[in-house]
Chain A
Amino acid sequence: MSALLRCADIGKNYGGVTALKRIDLTVGVGEIVGLVGANGAGKSTLIDIISGNTEPSRGAVMLRDREVKGRPARRARAGISRTFQHPQISEVLTLRENVACGLASTRMRSPLHVLRELALSALIDTTPWAEVDRLCESIGLTDLDRVAGTVSFGDLRLAEVGRALVQQPDVVMLDEPFPGVDDEGVMGVLAALRTLRGQGKGVLLVDHNVDIVASIADRLVLIADGEVAIEGPVDECLASSVFRERYIGVA
């Protein structure tokens, strides 16, 4: 399997604290990788580094063998999308509008695109709302006219997932998307991830619910002490004593 996303020798220090020592990680074409680790292992930090929200102290991120650099918006346009562990949305926008913001990665690619959207904005509504609605429905997010400030935590997460998926990314990274989400939502998100896998996209999935992650991932990566402690097929990992000691043992 060829690598879609590759993290090479990533390290991150916060002042004197070492969050990540050395991480090498790949996500292949059409592969769902489950990234697990105890609290504070550095999973979110790694996602932040890949998406450009945090600068690494060391190492590089490659998408299809080309280094990705620069601010998050640029990486989003290059095909990397993500959700946040603590949902980052606008509470005054509706769920539908929050999700639609992800369309910026394709529709506001260049200053020219931005100007075009601006010029059109007063005249006609060219946003593909039906597409947004369909995507939301597929992950179990309904009643999209609700203002985001009034919905449950689970629906906020789903809105974030929707915003990440509407970008039609090559690689999507979900940082604990499931807490607070009901069964229907979990099934919806998993189905959407399977579809992405079928389309040859890559998924990096972080969640503390190992059962859910194991049910869909092609491969697990466990990070502990800032390094990859073990990685491999799901069954092998789950059976290994290292996995139990370094993750379940700690948790």
Chain B
Amino acid sequence: MTITVTPARTDRMEVPPRSRGRRDTTLLPAVFFLVAFVALYFGWALAESYHLDIAMTFTMFSLLALGMYTPLFLGGQIDLAYNAYLAAGAYAVAIIANRTDIPLVLAIPIGAAVAATMALVLGLVTSHLTGFHLALVTLLAGTAAYRWISSTGAGLTGGASGIGGIPRLDLLGIEFGREQLVAAGLIAVWLVAFALSRFRRSLPGLAVRLNRASTPAAEVSGIPTTSIRLVSLAMGAAIGSLGGVFVALMNQFILADSYAPEIVFLALFLPLLGGISTPWGAVIGAGLLCFLNEASAFIEGPGPLVFGGASLAILILLPGGLIGVVALGWSAARSRMRKEDKL
């Protein structure tokens, strides 16, 4: 252990005021995850068939958690209807494949539009109420949506037994089998996380974040607080629906039980586990979930309890999530290097 002398304040004054401007901090993590995803895909996912299933579970949970990231962790809006948004994507695939002549790929925008519309309506009816009401109303909506699809679903959803017979997606001459779907899923996760990490620092992202801290401040800054809230809710729902699209295409069938409200509570933990200072935290959280799920039969049986306990421990011990630990280590190493430079 070396003892370093903190430079006196006068030292700092002599340094000419540099206006370095704002550094782009989004590229480094994006490159890291690009490499990680490529390695994961070619080195691990392709090795065994069931690895593909785990990678798809990872994709789904990542998109679910990334969906929640903007409204919840940037905007402070507790939207709990994400099981319904996920279902919107999945059922869009199943219904379009089985009951219409619409090209299957259009399930992506249609699912996203349905989910976004739901979120908009839920956001609108609660716009003059508090965040507590949004949580309440979306919880109710998510539960109602689950009941609806698992019972009659207006003859559309196949009830509890779901819908099967979903063909492989054929796009531009490429047939999207399991391997291709996992690759596409990972690409989607990477793109969404990267885009969100840039959104977070952009003017609309800052607007969402200022509005969370102080609506009066956001208003007097000229931020259209109502629209920006609705936009963030719709954006999150659309991202969540994408997870449903991928899972339905992968499994070629859907079951109503996959869209029970419980999944929302699991997904809520993921960004917290990974760290909410960046959307990549949601991806890390999803990865951790899949890893733990592999380590034991987690989601079934006592899984949620153990997962909940473990999560709580992480949250209490590491409030910044896993990324927080890495960031702490990084900044400690950097300030050490700087001090050594000076000596």
B216 / chain A contacts, CB cutoff of 8 Å:
53, 72, 84, 88
A81 nearest CB neighbor, chain B only: B220
Contact B210 A76 (CB under 8 A): no
Option from A90, A117, A123 in Cβ contact (under 8 Å) with B210: A90
Option from B195, B203, B205, B219 in Cβ contact (under 8 Å) with A53: B219
Contact A125 B24 (CB under 8 A): yes
Known: A91-B213, A118-B231, A129-B21. A76 touches B203 (CB 8 A): no
Number of A-B contacts (CB under 8 A): 132
Q: Interface size of B by Cβ–Cβ distance < 8 Å?
A: 35
Could you mark each residue 77-108 of chain A with 1 if its beta carbon is under 8 Å from any beta carbon of chain B, else 0?
10001101000111111001110111111111
A82 / chain B contacts, CB cutoff of 8 Å:
220
Contact B209 A121 (CB under 8 A): no
Known: A72-B220, A101-B221, A111-B227. A122 touches B209 (CB 8 A): no
Judge whether B160 is part of the interface by a CB distance below 8 angstroms: no
Report A116 CB to chain B, min CB distance, Å.
10
For chain A, give the interface size range: 35 or more
Option from B24, B205, B210 in Cβ contact (under 8 Å) with A98: B210
Query: For the complex, what is the distance from the CA of A133 to the CA of B21, rounded to whole Å?
Result: 7
Judge whether A137 is part of the interface by a CB distance below 8 angstroms: yes
Contact A167 B202 (CB under 8 A): no
Judge whether B206 is part of the interface by a CB distance below 8 angstroms: yes
Query: For the complex, what is the distance from the CA of A90 to the CA of B208, rounded to whole Å?
Result: 11
Could you mark each residue 208-248 of chain B with 1 if its beta carbon is under 8 Å from any beta carbon of chain A, else 0?
01101110111111111101100100000000000000000
Q: Which of B21, B207, B210, B214 gathers the greatest number of chain A CB atoms within 10 Å?
A: B210
Report A128 CB to chain B, min CB distance, Å.
10
Contact B207 A121 (CB under 8 A): no
Judge whether B17 is part of the interface by a CB distance below 8 angstroms: yes
Known: A53-B220, A73-B223, A129-B22. A90 touches B212 (CB 8 A): yes
Known: A73-B224, A101-B207, A122-B199. A90 touches B214 (CB 8 A): yes
A149 nearest CB neighbor, chain B only: B213
Contact A130 B210 (CB under 8 A): no
A92 / chain B contacts, CB cutoff of 8 Å:
209, 213
Judge whether B198 is part of the interface by a CB distance below 8 angstroms: yes
B209 / chain A contacts, CB cutoff of 8 Å:
90, 92-93
Option from A89, A100, A133 in Cβ contact (under 8 Å) with B217: A89
Contact B202 A117 (CB under 8 A): yes
Judge whether B49 is part of the interface by a CB distance below 8 angstroms: no
Contact B222 A117 (CB under 8 A): no
Report B233 CB to chain A, min CB distance, Å.
13
Judge whether B19 is part of the interface by a CB distance below 8 angstroms: yes
Option from B202, B217, B220, B221 in Cβ contact (under 8 Å) with A121: B202
Judge whether B204 is part of the interface by a CB distance below 8 angstroms: yes
Query: For the complex, what is the distance from the CA of A142 to the CA of B15, rounded to whole Å?
Result: 13
Could you mark each residue 196-223 of chain A with 1 if its beta carbon is under 8 Å from any beta carbon of chain B, else 0?
0000000000000000000000000000
B195 / chain A contacts, CB cutoff of 8 Å:
121-122
Query: For the complex, what is the distance from the CA of A73 to the CA of B227, rounded to whole Å?
Result: 11
B227 / chain A contacts, CB cutoff of 8 Å:
111, 114
Judge whether A163 is part of the interface by a CB distance below 8 angstroms: yes
Option from B21, B206, B217 in Cβ contact (under 8 Å) with A88: B217
Q: List B1-25 residues whose CB lies under 8 Å from chain A.
A: 17, 19, 21-22, 24
Report A153 CB to chain B, min CB distance, Å.
16
Contact B224 A114 (CB under 8 A): yes
B206 / chain A contacts, CB cutoff of 8 Å:
93, 97, 100-101
| A-B contact list, 18 entries, CB within 8 Å | A51-B220, A52-B219, A73-B218, A82-B220, A84-B216, A88-B216, A89-B217, A90-B213, A90-B214, A92-B209, A93-B210, A104-B221, A105-B221, A114-B231, A122-B194, A129-B22, A164-B220, A167-B222
Q: Across chains A and B, which 9 residue pairs bring their CB atoms closest together, nearest first?
A: A105-B222, A121-B202, A90-B213, A88-B217, A72-B219, A122-B195, A76-B222, A88-B214, A104-B222
